[in-house]
Amino acid sequence: MNASGKADGGNFDVVIAGNGVLGLSLAWILARRGQRVAVLGRPARPWAGSTASGAMLGCFGEVTTSLLASEHGRAKLELGIEAGRLWPQWLAELEEVTEGAPVKTARGTTVVLNTIGTAEIDDANYQAIRAELTRYEEPFEDVEPADLDWVDAEPISRPLRAFHIPGEHAVNSAALLERLEAAVVQAGGILVPEFATRVEYRGDRVTGVVLADGRRITAGHVTLAAGARTQELLDSLPVGPRIPRLVSGYGVSALIRTADGTAPDSVVRTPNRSFACGLHVVPRGDGQVYVGATNVISVDPRDTAEMRDLVFLLQCAHRQVRRNLWNSDVTKVQVGNRPVSMDGFPLLGDGGMRGLSVMTGTYRDGLHLSPLLAQDFAARALGEETRADVARFAPVRQPLRTGTREEIVDVLIDHQMGIGYEQDWTIPVEWHQWIEMDLRPGTLAWANGLDPEFTPPPELLFASRFDPELVSILRKYYATCREYS
C-alpha cells in the first residue's frame, strides 16, 4: 500500500467492487470493525445510480398495487420500513465523523394526486400508499391542495388531493457519497480508483479481483456492488449464468436553480407511474431543487440523456408541479442506471461460491436501503448473525414470480397508456379505446412468443418489444433457468 491510499495489489479481508452508496456504506462498517477493506471504482463513478438519485428515503411513497400483489413485493416493502428506522442514527454518526454539506435536504414527503394521473395507476397507488401507512401505523395527514404552498401547477395538471408523510425524508446524494468516502478513509479503508475487470477464483472459492490496469488484489471475501455493471463481473464466474441477469433502469434527473430562489421544505411527489418512480421535486438547499426521474430499461448502462427523456422530465415538472420552473436555470442534467435484475427483485446475499457476496439489483430504492444492507452484509463478512430478511432475494435462484402473464400484461398496458396521458396526447376520443383494445392482445401474443413459461416484469416486457438484444438476453436466461431447475 502506498501513502496516497492506493493499493498496489495487496491482500485484504474484503474487497468491494463498486464505489456507489452500497459499496461505500458496507466499507464504512467493515473498516470501523477493523477489517482490511478495499473499495474499487473510478472516482467519477461512471454509470452510477447513486449520483443521479433524488435521493428519497421513501418506502411508503414507493408503494404500488403491483408491489403489494406478491409476497416478494411485500417483503421488499418491509425491508424498506426497517431501513427507514436506521437512517436517523446512520446520518447522525456520519455527520459526526465527517465534515461537508448537510446530507438531509427534505423534511417529510407530500404525495400528490393530480389530474394527469390515471385511475388505474395513480388513484390505485395513491390509495395503496395510504392503506400501507395505516397498516404499519406510520403517521400521515391530509393536506388541502390549496394549502400546497410551493405547488403551482398548470390548471389542467392541478392537484386534486394530497397527504403528507412526516417520516419520509430525502438526502443530497452527492453530499452523502462525499461523506461516506471520507468516513471510509478515516476508518482505515482503502479507495482504489480503478475498475475490477474480473473476479479470480480457485475451485469454488473466489480469491480476489483483477483491476483494469492489470494489478491483482487478493481477498478472503469479494463483494460485488458495481450497480448495473455488476453483470460484467458475474460473467467472469462459473456461477454467473445461475444469477438473474442485470440490465439498467436508465434514468434522467436534473438540478434546477429556481427563478425566485424558493424550494419546498419537503419532497413533493406523485405516486409511481409510467414504469418510473413518479414525478418528484426534492429541495437541495440554496434555492435549488432536484427534479426526477425517468426510467427506461436498457441492456447497457447509459451515460448521456436522450433528448426525449430530458424534455419529458422537464415538461412534467413545470406543468405538474410549478409553472415558474419554466424560466428557472437547469444547472445539471444527471444520468444514472438503476441495477435491475431479470425478475425485478434485488440480488442480495451469498453469490454461490465461497467468499463471494452479491449486493445489487436494488432498482429504485437502493439508496434508501443502504444502511440496512450495509449492516447485513457486514455481519455476513464477519460471520455474525444477520438482521435483514433477504433470504428470498438470494442471488442464485429461479426468477421470482409476481403474477400471471395476463396480470403482468395488464399492468404493462396501464402504464403504457399512462405515458400517453402524461405526455398530453391529443387523439380523437374513441382512439384511446381502440389502441388499448389492440395493444392488450398484441402484448399478450408477444409475451407468449417470448417464452412459453416465464414472463418478465412489465417494464422489461415493454422494453423487449423494441429491443432485439433484450429479447435474446431474456430467452437465453430463461433457457438457463430451465437447465438448472
Ligand X SMILES: Cc1cc2nc3c(=O)[nH]c(=O)nc-3n(C[C@H](O)[C@H](O)[C@H](O)COP(=O)(O)OP(=O)(O)OC[C@H]3O[C@@H](n4cnc5c(N)ncnc54)[C@H](O)[C@@H]3O)c2cc1C
Residue whose CB is less far from ligand X, 353 or 372: 372
CA-to-CA separations, 134 to 60, 62, 77, in angstroms, rounded:
10, 15, 14
Among 10, 18, 84, 244, binds ligand X (CB under 6 A): 18
- 172 sits near ligand X (criterion: CB under 6 A): no
- 356 sits near ligand X (criterion: CB under 6 A): no
Residue whose CB is less far from ligand X, 298 or 455: 298
Task: Number of residues interacting with ligand X: please give it, by CB under 6 A.
Answer: 46
Distance from the Cα of residue 358 to its chain's centroid: 16
Among 73, 208, 220, 292, binds ligand X (CB under 6 A): 292
* Sites for ligand X among residues 232-261 (CB under 6 A): 232-233, 251, 253
Please, which contacts does 89-94 make with residues 24 or more away whose CB atoms are closer than 8 Å?
90/371, 91/171, 94/28, 94/176, 94/179, 94/180, 94/183
- 275 sits near ligand X (criterion: CB under 6 A): no
Residue type at 106? A
Dihedral Cα 292, 297, 300, 302, nearest 10 deg: -20
Q: Which residues of 406-428 are buried (b: 16+ CB within 10 A; e: fewer)?
A: eebbbbbbbbbbbebbbeeeeee
Residue whose CB is less far from ligand X, 176 or 417: 176
- 225 sits near ligand X (criterion: CB under 6 A): yes
Closest CA to 271 of 469, 132, 123: 123
* Cα gap 258→52, rounded to integer Å: 19
* Listed ranges 129-137, 356-364, 431-439, 454-462: which one lies at the site for ligand X (CB under 6 A): 356-364
Q: How many CB atoms lie within 10 A of CB 453?
A: 10
- 52 sits near ligand X (criterion: CB under 6 A): yes
Distance from the Cα of residue 141 to its chain's centroid: 27
* Cα gap 62→462, rounded to integer Å: 21
- 53 sits near ligand X (criterion: CB under 6 A): yes
* Cα gap 115→355, rounded to integer Å: 52
**Min dist. Cβ of residue 199 to ligand X (A):** 10
- 362 sits near ligand X (criterion: CB under 6 A): yes
Residue whose CB is less far from ligand X, 42 or 354: 42
**Min dist. Cβ of residue 305 to ligand X (A):** 10
Residue whose CB is less far from ligand X, 65 or 370: 370
- 264 sits near ligand X (criterion: CB under 6 A): no
- 48 sits near ligand X (criterion: CB under 6 A): yes
- 231 sits near ligand X (criterion: CB under 6 A): no
- DSSP H or E segment with residue 16: strand 11-17
Q: How many CB atoms lie within 10 A of CB 106?
A: 29
Closest CA to 382 of 10, 40, 13: 13
- 344 sits near ligand X (criterion: CB under 6 A): no
* Listed ranges 3-11, 219-227, 418-426, 477-485: which one lies at the site for ligand X (CB under 6 A): 219-227
> Which residues bind to ligand X, rule: CB under 6 A?
17-23, 40-42, 45-50, 52-56, 195-196, 225-227, 229, 232-233, 251, 253, 277, 292-293, 336-339, 360, 362-368
